[in-house]
A and B are shown apart, each in its own frame.
Chain A
Amino acid sequence: MFDFLTHDMLAIIWFFLWCVIWGVYFIVDSFSLGAGLLTPFIATDKVQRTQIQSSVGPFWGGNEVWLILAAGGTFAAFPLVFSKMFTFLYLPMMLLLIGLIARGISIEYLHKDENPQIQKILMWGWFAGSLLISLVLGVAFANFFKGLEISSGGVYIGTLIGLFSPYALVGGVLFVLMSATSGALWINVKTEGDVAAKAGDLAKKSTLIVLVLALVYLAYSFMGIEGFTINYSATPALYLLPVLAVVGAILAVFFAKKDRGFPAFCSNLLAFLFVVESGLASIYPYMLKSSVSLEYGIDIFEAASSHMTLSVMLGGALVFVPIVIIYQLWAYTLFKEKIKETEQVDY
C-alpha cells in the first residue's frame, strides 16, 4: 500500500496528520474543559450546574478520544517520540493523567448522589481536572516549541522546575484561558437563562484577555525563542498560521461584544487551533526539539515507523477519520436545542 510514496514522504504526511489531530483535540475538548473551569464560578445552584453539565455531557467523551488518538498515533507513527516524550516528562504526564481521570469521573458522577457535599467535591474535581489538563498541556506544548533540554546522544538533562520558564507559563495560562473562553461561549450558546447570560458577560472580558495574551505569546515565540523563525523564513506562507490565530482572537472579541455567541465561539476555536499550529509548524522537522542544540533533537525521519506501519496507519486514518468526523457532527445535530433550566436530564 502507498508504495508510490517514499518513507520520508510518509513520515512528512504523518507529521502533518499528527499536527492536525493535536489541533482537533485542543479545539474539541476546549469547551468541556472550559465548562469545568467555569462551573464553580457561574453556576449558583444544582439546576444551573446540571445545565452546564448537560451542555457538554453528550460530547466530552467522544471528544477526549482525539487525545487518545494523538497518543496512539504518536506511538504508531513515531514510537521514539512517544517513548521519549512520556519518559522525559514523567511527572507532568502523571499529572495530566490524574487530571483526565478526575475530570471524566467528576462529569459522569456529578449528581449521581444527592448529598450536596459530594456534589460540591465533584464540581471542584471537575474544575481541578480541567485545570490540570489545560495547564499541563499548555506548559508542555510551549516546551515542545521552545525545545526540551536534550543533550548529545538523546540524553535528557532537564528538570521539573526547568519546564516552568516564563514562556511556558504564558503558554500554560493562554491554553487555560482559551479553554475557559471556549467553555464560556459554549455555555452561552447551549443554555438558556441566568447561566447563559453570565457566561456571555464573562466571555466579553476573557476574549479580550485571550487576544492580548495570544499576541504576547506569539510575539515571544517569534522574537524570544531560538530557532522559531527558521521554517517561517524558508516558507513565508506559514505566516498565515499566526495571522489566522490573531484574526480569530480579534473576531472573538468583536462577536462576543455583539452577543453573537456562536460566531464568537468559532472564532475563539480558530485562534486556539492556529496558536497550536503556529508552534507546531516551527519545530519541523523535529518532533522533540532540543533547546541545547538543534542537532540533538529527535526528527520525524529518525522517529518514524517502517514504511509498512505508516502505510497501514495512513490507510486506516483516510477511511476512518472522515467516518468519525461524520458521526461526531451528527451527534451535535442530535442535541442542538438549548438547555433550559426547566428541562433536567437524568444524568
Chain B
Amino acid sequence: MIELLLLSRLQFAITAAFHFIFVPLTLGLALLVAVMETMYYRNKNETWRKMADFWGNIFKINFAIGLVSGITLTFQLGTNWGAYAEFMGDVFGPPLAMEALFAFFLEGTFLGAWIFLGHNRQKLKAFSMWMVALGTNISSLWIIIANGFMQHPVGYEMAADGSKVVMTDFIALITNGYVWYMLVHTLLAAYLLTSFVIMGICAYHFLKGNNNEVFKKSFSIAVIIALATAVMLPVLGHGYAQYVAALQPTKGAAMDAIWETGSSVPMYLIQVPDSSTGSNSIQLLGIPGLASFLYTGSFSGTITGLNQLPQDELPPVEMIFWSFRLMTILGSLFIIVALLGLYLQKSGKLYTSKKYLKLLMWSIPLPYITITAGWIVAEVGRQPWMVYGLLKTANGVSLVPTSDVLLSMVLISAFYMVLLIFEIYLIKKTVVNATGVE
C-alpha cells in the first residue's frame, strides 16, 4: 500500500512536472505570436511576418508535447486516482469537461487552421492564432478552477453518507478567491518565462553578431514583459502567500519553516530547517518581525508554528521551505536581470555586452526551475491532503497492482525522456538555423 501510494504519487509528479515544462511557453508565445500576426496584417512590415514565423515555429514544436502530455494527467485521475475521482467527480469533472469544451476545441481546431493558412490569408491566420491564444489561456482558468477547489473547497456539501462531495454552487467554484490568486500568479509566471526564453534566444543571435531587426524587436518587447512580470510577481505573490497562509496554515508555516507560534516572528536570511528536531539547525541574520509582517501585515502579528499545528497534517517541511526560498531568490534575480537588460538596451550597449548576453542565454532554464519550485510549494505544500481538509492523498489512490503502476511509470518516463531530448534538439535547430529570418 505504501509502495502503491508512493509510486502513484511519483508518477503523477513526474508527468505533471513534465507537462508543465511546455505549458508556460505555450501560454506566452500564443499571445505574442497572435500580436505579431496581427501587426503584420495591419502594416505589412516584413519584420513582423518573420517574427511571427520564427517564434511560431518554436511555438509549434513546444505546443505538440504540451498537448499530448496533458492527456496523461486526465487519464491518471482515473487510472491512479480513481478513489479521488469518485470522491470529487461532482465538483472536479465539470471544470475538466468545460476545459475540453471551451478551450481544447478552440486550441485544437484553430491551431490546425493557423499552421495551414498562408500569409496570403493573413486576416484569418491572425484570427486563428488569437483563438489558439484564447483557448490556451482559458484552459488554464478551468484547470485552476479545478485545482482551486483542491486547495480551498467552496460551493459544495458532503453527501449524506460522507462518501463524496456534491456541488451546490457552481459560481462559487469560479469565484473562489484561491483560483484568481493562483491564475494571475501562474499566468504572470508563464509570461515571464516566455520573455526570458525570447531574450535568451535573441542573446544567442546577438552574440553571433546577428543583430537583425527580428531579434532586436523581439528583445525590446520581451524585456518590457520580463520587467513588468518580474515586478508584479512578488508584489501580487505577497498577497497570494498571505491569503494561502491564512487558509492553509500548515503550508503557510512550512514556506518559511516557522516552528513555534509567536508574535513579532523574525525572518532569517540564512536558515536551515530540520523537521526531525522540529527546529532550525542553523539560523542567522534574523530581521525582527519581518516574517510576522509578511504573513500578517503587522510586525507584531502572530503566526501559528508548525509544532503547534496537528502533526499528522504537516507537509514535508524542508521540501516546501527550500522550494519557496528558491522561487523567491530566483524571482528577485529576474528583476535585476530585466532591469539590466532594459538599461543596456536603452543605452545602446546591449549588443556588445557579451557577459550579459551570455548570462541571458544561461538564464533560460531558471524560470523553468522557478515555476517547478512554485508548483512544489502549491501542491506538495497541500499534503497530506489531496483536497484540503476533506480527503487525504492516501485515500484517493486507485487500488491497482503496484507492478502495473511501476510498469506504466517506467514506460512513460522513458518515452518522455526521448520526447524531451528530441524536442530540445528540434528547438535548438530552429533557433540556430533561424530559417527565413535573414
Contact = CB atoms under 8 A, between A and B. Distances in A.
B96 A334 contact: no
Interface in A99-121: 100-102, 104-105, 108-109, 112-113
Interface stretch (A85-93, A255-263, A264-272): A85-93
A238 interface: no
Given A57-B112, A65-B108, A108-B60, A98 B412 contact: yes
Most central of B72, B100, B398 by chain A CB within 10 Å: B100
Contacts of A90: 79, 398, 400-401, 404, 408
In this complex, the interface size class of chain B, counting residues with CB under 8 Å from chain A, is 35 or more
B419 A105 contact: yes
A113 B99 CA distance: 33
Interface in B370-423: 398-401, 404, 407-408, 411-412, 415, 419, 422
Nearest to B94: A76
A334 to B, nearest CB: 6
Contacts of B224: none
5 contacts: A82-B78, A87-B78, A104-B64, A334-B124, A335-B113
Contacts of B108: 61-65
Interface in B90-114: 90-94, 96-102, 104-105, 107-113
A264 to B, nearest CB: 24
Given A91-B407, A93-B79, A320 B74 contact: no
Contacts of B105: 62, 65, 69, 324, 327-328
A76 B75 contact: no
B14 interface: no
Contacts of B404: 90-91, 94
Interface in A248-285: none
Contacts of A86: 75, 77-79, 82, 85, 398
A75 B115 contact: no
Contacts of A59: 112
Contacts of A320: 101-102
A61 B67 contact: yes
Contact of A101 (B69, B89, B96): B69
Interface in A291-341: 305-306, 308-309, 312-313, 316-317, 320-321, 324, 327-328, 331, 334-335
Nearest to A94: B408
A73 B400 CA distance: 23
Contacts of A288: none
Contacts of A58: 112-113, 115-116
A68 interface: yes
Given A54-B116, A65-B104, A72-B97, A101 B68 contact: yes
Given A320-B102, A328-B105, A94 B79 contact: yes
Given A76-B96, A101-B415, A334 B113 contact: yes
B101 A91 contact: no
B434 interface: no
Contacts of A312: 94, 167, 170
Contact of A305 (B60, B90, B98, B168): B90
Given A305-B93, A309-B94, A101 B72 contact: yes
Contacts of B93: 72, 75-77, 79, 82, 305, 309, 313
A57 B398 contact: no
A84 interface: yes
Interface in A186-207: none
Interface of A: 54, 57-65, 68-69, 71-73, 75-80, 82-87, 90-91, 93-94, 96-98, 100-102, 104-105, 108-109, 112-113, 305-306, 308-309, 312-313, 316-317, 320-321, 324, 327-328, 331, 334-335, 345, 347
A86 B76 CA distance: 8
Given A91-B408, A101-B69, A109-B64, A75 B117 contact: no
B369 interface: no
A108 B59 CA distance: 12
A96 B3 CA distance: 25
A313 B170 CA distance: 10
Minimum-distance CB pairs A-B, first 6 = A79-B89, A86-B78, A76-B93, A62-B109, A58-B112, A83-B82
B16 interface: no
B86 A104 contact: no
Contacts of A98: 411-412, 415
B327 interface: no
B61 interface: yes
A317 to B, nearest CB: 7
A313 B94 contact: yes
B166 interface: yes
Contacts of A102: 415
Contacts of B100: 65, 68-69, 72-73
A75 B97 contact: yes
B83 interface: yes
B244 to A, nearest CB: 27
B309 interface: no
B71 interface: yes
Contact of B92 (A75, A112, A334): A75
B97 A313 contact: yes
B85 to A, nearest CB: 4
A101 B71 contact: yes
A109 B88 contact: no
B340 to A, nearest CB: 35
B67 A72 contact: no
Contact of A72 (B65, B72, B88, B96): B96
